[in-house]
Amino acid sequence: MLQKPRGTRDFLPDEMEFRREIEQRLRYAAQNWGYREVCTPTFETQELFTIRSGEGIIKEMYAFEDKGGRKLALRPEGTAPVLRMYVNEAQVLAKPIRWFYFADCYRYERPQKGRYRQFWQFGTELIGADTAAADAEIILLAENLLQKSGVEFEMHVGHLAPMKHLIRDLEPGEQKAAMAFLDKHDIEGLKKCREEQGNESLIEPLSSLLECRTLDEVFEATGDLPEKERMQQMIAILDAQGLSYTLDMGIVRGLDYYTGMVFEAFAHNLGAENQILGGGAYRLAHLFGGDDVASCGFGLGFDRVMASLGKPQKARSGVVAVVYTPEAQTRAFEVARIFREAGIMTELNLLERGIGAQMKHAGRSADLAVVIGKRECEAGTVTLKDLAKGTQEEVTPEEAVAGVKRLGAC
């Protein structure tokens, strides 16, 4: 028996319907903020991803050569393709540009709980607004989307300026190491690293950043920063809008193109692998031959959101089963068409079952049954049966449609 490829999943109807419901909630929320959906190719040139992350990322991607010898890769994330599309198609559009996407992505890594080789990402990009208001909007949008999804979460908001200010005199390799320890909130690792490199004076100010919960505390640890006013403006907007968040100056995000504000969200019930969203302010378009435009955005791990929400609650199916005797088959197809044109999910017996077997099957798959026999055919009526209550009435097909809609089973 053939099996699905490692790191992929199958979704049966109940789960697929639940996923579509949450996906549509996210789409609707993003559209309410003025963001419009875009779509990029499933595969891109490898250079799109190596140009900012180096050749080493190839081993983490599904990379291949096509029959023409072109080096391609299945997209491992959504931001780079969207910015590539901006450079190719949209640099002349009025700014700011508000886009969102929902895409399946692919990474060649060891599958584990919550991490798959094929996964789905919902993302937004706000292009061409280099302001505190833009930073605040993208964070508030992320909060709104997570709330609409129904997941319980905690938001962490930070900024790279304080950290980069403190390590500005270190060598690039030392800077990267220090930022990695801070991102993990690993104070002991940071101390050991600084001691080995002979620069222990930074241990205290860097460590203190992780304890800061107000901007005043941040500026006490770092002194005045060029970004101070913008940071204050952003936080003032978030506070005025009642955002619940933790100020976290240890967020790094692990990608070199982030330039300022950074933020992450964590689900309450996913254990160690609980990050469901991350983003920040960045500059990326110039790497792809475009203008050096400021952008900000985030990626939401859709699969982790679904894992946090748990198994779908089985709702009423909203299906009407048309049950009929052999001589009523033609009429059954006509009635089914009437119901479907009215927007009601309708299924017909296709297995030449008797009425009893049809009713038994309908009890497992439908809420209501429409019974058509010889008498109903002659009278131009149907018998509408509520399978949960056991009640029934003989009515015209049009009256049956109205009754189904009145019951909300469509």
| pTM exceeding 0.75 | yes
Same domain, 284 and 339: no
What is the structure's pLDDT at 54? Answer: 82
CA distances from 293 to 91, 128, 230 (A): 9, 6, 18
Is residue 229 domain-resident? yes
Contacts (Cβ under 8 Å, ≥6 apart) of 253: 183, 262, 264, 278, 279, 280
Could you tell me the CATH number of the domain that includes residue 351?
3.40.50.800
| Full domain range(s) for residue 343 | 319-407
**Given a cut of 70, is residue 200 above it in pLDDT?**
no
Task: Give the burial class of 408: count Cβ atoms within 10 A of its Cβ; 0-12 exposed, 13-18 middle, 19 or more buried.
Answer: exposed
Same domain, 77 and 102: yes
Residue pLDDT, tens place only, 121-180:
999 999 999 999 999 999 999 999 999 999 999 999 999 999 999 988 888 888 888 888
Q: Can you list the alpha helix ranges (DSSP code H) found in 54-171?
A: 79-85, 132-149, 160-166
Strand 118-127 to 295-301 pairing = antiparallel
Interhelix angle 187-196/203-211, rounded to 10 degrees, is 170
Is residue 331 domain-resident? yes
Is residue 6 domain-resident? no
Contact (Cβ atoms closer than 8 angstroms) between residue 255 and residue 142: no
Same domain, 305 and 224: yes
Contacts (Cβ under 8 Å, ≥6 apart) of 239: none
Residue pLDDT, tens place only, 239-254:
999 999 999 999 988 6
Report percent pLDDT > 90 for the chain.
Answer: 78
Report the chain's mean pLDDT, rounded to a whole number: 92
| 49, amino acid identity | F
Same domain, 287 and 173: yes
Same domain, 388 and 242: no
Same domain, 107 and 34: yes
Task: Give the burial class of 406: count Cβ atoms within 10 A of its Cβ; 0-12 exposed, 13-18 middle, 19 or more buried.
Answer: exposed
